[in-house]
A = this chain, B = another copy of it.
Amino acid sequence: MTALATTVSDAVIDRLCSAVGPKGFILDPDLMAPYLLDERGMYRGKTPVVLRPASTAEVAEIVRICAETGTPIVPQGGNTGLCGAATPYEDGRAVLMSLTRMNRVREVDPLNYTITVEAGVILADVQAEAAKADRLFPLSLGGEGSARIGGNLSTNAGGTGVLKYGNARDLVLGVEVVLPDGRVLDLLCGLRKDNTGYDLKQLFIGAEGTLGIITACVLKTFPRPGDVQTAFCAVASPAASVELLSRARTLSDDRVITFEWIGSTAYDFGMRHIPGLRRPLVNDYDHYVLIELAAGSAASGLRETMEAVLADGVENGLVLDAAIAESTAQAKAFWKIRETLPEAQKSEGVSIKHDVSVPISRIAEFIDVASAKLTARVPGIRVCAFGHIGDGNLHFNVSQPAGGDGAAFQALHHDINRIVHDTVVGMRGSISAEHGIGRLKREELQHYKSPVALDVMRALKAALDPKGIMNPGKVL
């Protein structure tokens, strides 16, 4: 990060605005405001200008000017990230580049099972374009109505389809990237196999804009499921959940596409605070899972498969009770329980959140150990955990003791983070399973990542962005 400009001069701003034309920049503070507040409201940044290029050439021209003048750039997609990667710092030294105008679908190729889109296409629109060609684009997450695919790739988004289809990085065959010197790295090929040198694309995916700017991508698509079966079950324990998943994978021919675990505290919060939520089961239990199976055609007997999976679970003492959705509306109602958990938790006071993963085989142990340690530290603490247990990924959130002092609880957040993250790392887990690092977890990364891995990351950053203009102060 040598020789970065301490302020952006008017002359540089003029050059940048000229590069994108009158529709391509925002200088009015009111109009800039929505770009400068992050999704969670943690950071309110400053910038002299929001740039909105409409083409790869414009992105490249902006980056060239910034490289020449040592001007930092913060790239931004739909501004739905959860770790502050897309928000500039408060010093106002960086320009913000919004990719939202780069929103063209460049090609849909059903036979190749690919779709080529620009970085600014909204995730839900990618899904819809694929569906028009009778294909599935399986990346699916809460923010899909406003998240942009370039941001999804830059943060290697996860979501509810990972178990079957992988993370964002697994869904990418090619990318187009503007490098930190303004050159365009065109890796926009739709090949399943290409062993001509290093896998450069993966370097930019999940790099949160610190190594270059993804401007377009070739994504994999899949056959659309003709049938989906959804069940809501009570299970005996987290260990039983994991065992159930393993048996379900085998019994269903690996057709499990969703396997979401919900602890009773989270479930109870939902039932208490979310209007219209209904209990799918007659009794209350300590642990629940939402299971979804998908099959190619409606005639594939998937309902019977789901019944067989659940019957096997009951027989083996894993499943205590279960309901299979009888309609799309009922399936949606089951999903609503899962999707409204973050909202429900808000009504219970101050919460401290962790997006962690461990090997699937250690999930149960993790929940036990971390919960016990937290309770020892903060008697009455409420572990409101849920998440993608099939990926080993939990949203291990904790709420303040009921009726306690929220501010006092908030003041313990360093201690609480340390307890959870120490436990995770002790099991060779990850302190950021799907949300990334951004600004929020930068210090935690320095604390927990191995010094050798950090050194390699720094070496790569220095090699590709020697001037340090790409989203400085994020991730590393």
A277 at interface (Cβ–Cβ under 8 A)? no
Partner among B163, B193, B211, B361 whose Cβ is within 8 Å of the Cβ of A434: B193
Q: For chain A, which range describes its interface: under 10, 10 to 19, 20 to 34, or 35 or more residues?
A: 35 or more
B residues in contact with A361, CB < 8 Å: 109-112
Given the contacts A198-B207, A200-B456, A433-B193, A112 and B360 also touching, CB distance less than 8 Å: yes
Given the contacts A393-B192, A434-B195, A445-B196, A111 and B246 also touching, CB distance less than 8 Å: yes
Pairwise interchain contact A197-B445, C-beta atoms closer than 8 A: yes
Q: How far is the CB of A174 from chain B (nearest CB, A)?
A: 9
Pairwise interchain contact A206-B199, C-beta atoms closer than 8 A: yes
1/0 per residue, CB under 8 A from B, across A215-229: the answer is: 000000011100000
B residues in contact with A110, CB < 8 Å: 246, 361
A190 at interface (Cβ–Cβ under 8 A)? yes
Most buried by B among A190, A197, A253, A359: A197
Partner among B183, B393, B441, B464 whose Cβ is within 8 Å of the Cβ of A193: B393
B residues in contact with A224, CB < 8 Å: 250
Q: How far is the CB of A398 from chain B (nearest CB, A)?
A: 20
Q: How far is the CB of A428 from chain B (nearest CB, A)?
A: 5
Q: Which of A39-47, A292-300, A330-338 contacts B (4 or more CB under 8 A)?
A: A292-300
Pairwise interchain contact A187-B428, C-beta atoms closer than 8 A: no
The chain B residue sitting closest to A169, CB to CB, is: B199
B residues in contact with A452, CB < 8 Å: 179, 183-186
Pairwise interchain contact B179-A457, C-beta atoms closer than 8 A: no
Pairwise interchain contact B191-A357, C-beta atoms closer than 8 A: yes
Q: How far is the CB of A140 from chain B (nearest CB, A)?
A: 15
Pairwise interchain contact B158-A359, C-beta atoms closer than 8 A: no
A369 at interface (Cβ–Cβ under 8 A)? no
Interchain CA distance A457-B199 in the complex, whole Å: 9
B residues in contact with A362, CB < 8 Å: 112
Q: In residues 172-216 of chain A, which contact B (Cβ within 8 Å)?
A: 179, 183-200, 202-203, 205-207, 211
A242 at interface (Cβ–Cβ under 8 A)? yes
Pairwise interchain contact B193-A198, C-beta atoms closer than 8 A: no
The chain B residue sitting closest to A113, CB to CB, is: B360
Interchain CA distance A207-B198 in the complex, whole Å: 6
Given the contacts A295-B253, A296-B254, A433-B195, A360 and B162 also touching, CB distance less than 8 Å: no
Q: In residues 378-434 of chain A, which contact B (Cβ within 8 Å)?
A: 388, 391-393, 428-434
Q: In residues 341-373 of chain A, which contact B (Cβ within 8 Å)?
A: 357-362
Q: How far is the CB of A427 from chain B (nearest CB, A)?
A: 10
B residues in contact with A163, CB < 8 Å: 192
Query: Which residues of A line the B interface, CB within 8 A?
Result: 109-114, 155-156, 158, 162-163, 167, 169-170, 179, 183-200, 202-203, 205-207, 211, 222-224, 242-243, 246, 249-255, 295-297, 300-301, 357-362, 388, 391-393, 428-437, 441, 445, 448-450, 452-457, 459-460, 462-464, 475-476
